[in-house]
Amino acid sequence: MRRPWAGNGAPQPLVLGTMLRVSFALIAIAAAAAAQDRGSISDLVAQVRAGLDGARGDGRIAKDIRKLRLTERLDDRTIEILQSEGAGRQTVEELLLLRDRSAQMPRPSKPAIPEPPAPSAAAQVQIWNAAHENAVSQNQTLPDFICTETIRRYFASKLNGGWKLQDTLSLRLTYFDRREEYKLMSVNRRSTSLSYEQMRGAITENEFGTMLAAIFALKSRTNRDWDHWTLLHSRPTHVYLFAISAPNSDYQVTSGAGPGEEERVRVGQHGFVYIDDATKMVVKVTAIADTFPRDFDVRKVILNLDYDFTDVGGKRYLLPLHSATTLWAPPFLHRNEIDFLQYRKFSADTTITYDGTVKK
């Protein structure tokens, strides 16, 4: 993700001298301001933590760090830990911008936030395999259910932000026989007869189970490597890099104005898998697709999917609670913010009204 000097009719030499003095003063002020705004990753961490300790508010902290010019590279781990410590949405968005702007800067000589030693190579394999087994086990035992999926769709015409709310969609997501089905219930809280596929703009599907299943599927031949420790919800978490090549991927993106004008491509994905250290459960996935054909409208898609334990039919399951998908299709950007609400076990007498209210 925003006066010229005027003379006073004095003799020419005095005018020139005054202009020079003013210019030097302005240069000195600008240099001092630039120097004041420059900072290391340790300076950034200290500034955010001071704002959190002082209860300055998300907007104030975001505004403060927006002025900072980093002299070192900001990484995802630092952002994740600050978010776990309480950094809000606006602050995290500014941190992500700082990360991108500092990508060519040198790494800090030492981490601003100390990191525990990496697990042994054998332990890294065991952690991944345990997360795989847990994901498969939950998928096999997960009951059929329905939930409300609320999608806030934003668009922007500039790479530096300016997001505008396009509309808010309410969908019924049915998970039956290990498959996902979507039904559009309302648009901007008004009932609609349109299908989800008929909606113009960016639409996303399969955030729920397909992404995680694809990462662990044997056919995907997923490459993975332990990358770093982080904190999510104040809990120690392993972060693995993963990559699925296009020939082994089931991820598809469709672009076009409507039926008969659509073009669909299959692309690979890469990103991060976050595994809780205590439970060996996947608690977050970040997936990036950025190897589209040159003549395809879409250039990049980033999906962030967050999980948490949720009650379904009297038992607790690790299920998606929020996802954010950002899509670059120059000259526009699209972002879908999705919340999964009101998980209920599916039964014949369960219904959802047009505004997303679940009734039994």
Which tokens is 306 given?
């967050």
- Looking at the fold, whether 77 and 204 belong to one and the same domain comes out as no
Pair 107, 226 in one domain: no
Query: Position 308: which residue type?
Result: D
Claim to verify: residue 297 and residue 177 sit in the same structural domain: yes
Least confident range of 130-139, 163-172, 253-262: 253-262
Residue 5 counted as domain residue: no
- Per-residue pLDDT at 8 exceeds 60: no
pLDDT of residue 3: 31
Last residue of a domain, one of 70, 90, 113: 113
Question: 12: helix, coil or strand?
Answer: helix
How far apart CA 280 and CA 136 sit, in angstroms, is: 12
| Judgement on whether residues 207 and 98 belong to the same structural domain of the protein | no
Are 143 and 249 contained in the same domain? yes
Give the span between the Cα atoms of 271 and 242, in whole angstroms: 5
Residues 298-321: tens digit of each pLDDT:
999 999 999 988 888 888 888 888
Domain assignment of residue 233, yes or no: yes
pLDDT tens sequence across 57-103: 999 999 999 888 999 999 988 998 998 888 998 899 899 889 988 98
Instruction: Indicate whether 348 belongs to any domain.
Output: yes
4: in domain = no
Q: Is residue 265 part of a domain?
A: yes
Q: Are residues 163 and 108 in the same domain?
A: no
Q: Are residues 136 and 102 in the same domain?
A: no
Examine the domain organization and report whether 295 and 157 are in the same domain: yes
One domain for residues 32 and 132: no
* Model pLDDT for residues 345-359, shown as the tens digit of each residue: 876 555 544 344 444
> Does 331 reside within a domain?
yes
- Provide long-range contacts, Cβ within 8 A and 24+ apart, for 188-197: 189/355, 190/354, 191/354, 196/169, 196/171
Q: Clarify whether residues 84 and 155 are in a common domain.
A: no
pLDDT of 168 above 90? yes
The domain boundary, picked from 65, 82, 113, lies at 113
Q: Is the pLDDT of residue 360 over 50?
A: no
In a domain, 3, yes or no: no
Decide if 324 contacts 304 (C-beta within 8 A): yes
The last residue of one of the domains, among 94, 113, 132, is 113
Residue 230 belongs to domain spanning: 123-359
Distance from C-alpha of 262 to C-alpha of 334, rounded to nearest angstrom: 18
| pLDDT higher than 60, residue 161 | no
Q: Which residue has the higher pLDDT, 86 or 3?
A: 86
Domain count, the chain: 2
Claim to verify: residue 143 and residue 80 sit in the same structural domain: no
Range scoring the smallest mean pLDDT among 1-10, 187-196, 235-244: 1-10
Give me the mean pLDDT over the 240-269 stretch.
84
93 in any annotated domain: yes
Per-state percent for the chain, helix, strand, coil, to nearest 5: 30, 35, 35
Residue 151: predicted pLDDT? 92
Distance CA 214, CA 208 (A): 11
The answer on 231 and 274 residing in a single domain is yes
Q: What mean pLDDT comes out for the span 224-240?
A: 92
